Every structure is written in structure tokens, then in C-alpha cells.
Amino acid sequence: MAKDKAEMKADSILIPNQGVMTIDKKKKKAALTWYVFLLPSFIGILLFMVYPIVESFRLSFYQSNGTIENFIGFSNFQLVLTSKTFWNSVWNTFFIAFFQIALTIPLGFIFASMINSVRRGGKTFLKLFTSCRMSHP
């Protein structure tokens, strides 16, 4: 009997006016607290990110003038995918992205190596270079 009371004390915490709260109840309460704090973030993500994506996908199957929607199925997709302007835009996007990566990464390594190899004034140059980047958006 005394051993059972000792085990009960080890597994529970006495809270005044509330009785005994077991460790499992305390863990559940802590988890619930985290969910309560995260709930506004989840609502914001759903409201401002997920809903617009789902609504845009739904609207892509309709022809609309702003008030009246007519279901047209995949006709919008067919129109876009057969458009020369669309494929020109896709090509331009990949072209710019490729050369942006192909130029900026090697230039970054070159400038970093040059700054690292300078013995006198290298730290001063580095401070001036980074402060200019931080002061302008």
C-alpha cells in the first residue's frame, strides 16, 4: 500500500483546488497549449495562401466576366498551352534563370576569394562592402 502511494506521488503532481494531475494529463495540456498558439498562424496560412490557390484552380475551369461564370473545362488550358506567347514567356524565364545562376555563383566565388586573399585592408573592405548592402534594400 505504501509502495502504491509512492508510485502515485512519482507519477502525479498535486495542484491546489484541482486535485491530482497526472503526467499524461499535463502532457496533453501542454500539447493543447501549443495548438492554441499555432491556431492563428494556421488560420492565416489557410486564409491567405491555401484558399487563393484552390480558388484560382477552380476558376481556371470557368470563363467569367466577373459576375457570371460559365464552365468550359480544359479550354483555358488548351488556349494557354497552344499560345506562342506563353511558350516564349516560359523560354525567357528559363533563359534568365539559367544565366542568373551561371553568372552569380561563379562571380560570388571569385569576389569571395579576392576578399579572402587580400592581406591589408581586407577586413575593412569587407565591412564597407557588407554595410553598403545592408543600408540599401
Q: Can you tell me which residue has the cell 560570388?
A: 108
pLDDT digits (tens, 9 = 90+) for 60-116: 999 999 899 999 999 999 999 999 999 999 999 999 999 999 999 999 899 888 877
User: Which residue ranges make up each domain of the chain?
Assistant: 1-82, 83-137
Which secondary structure element, helix H or strand E, spans residue 14, and what is its range?
strand 12-15
Answer yes or no: are the C-beta atoms of 84 and 96 closer than 8 Å.
no
Rounded CA gap, 34 and 27, in Å? 11
Reply yes or no on whether the pLDDT at 15 is more than 80: no
Q: Specify the DSSP class assigned to residue 47.
A: I
pLDDT value at residue 82: 96
Overall average pLDDT of the 22-41 stretch:
88
Q: How far apart are CA 36 and CA 19, in angstroms?
A: 24
Half-sphere exposure of 96 (CA within 13 A, CB side): 6
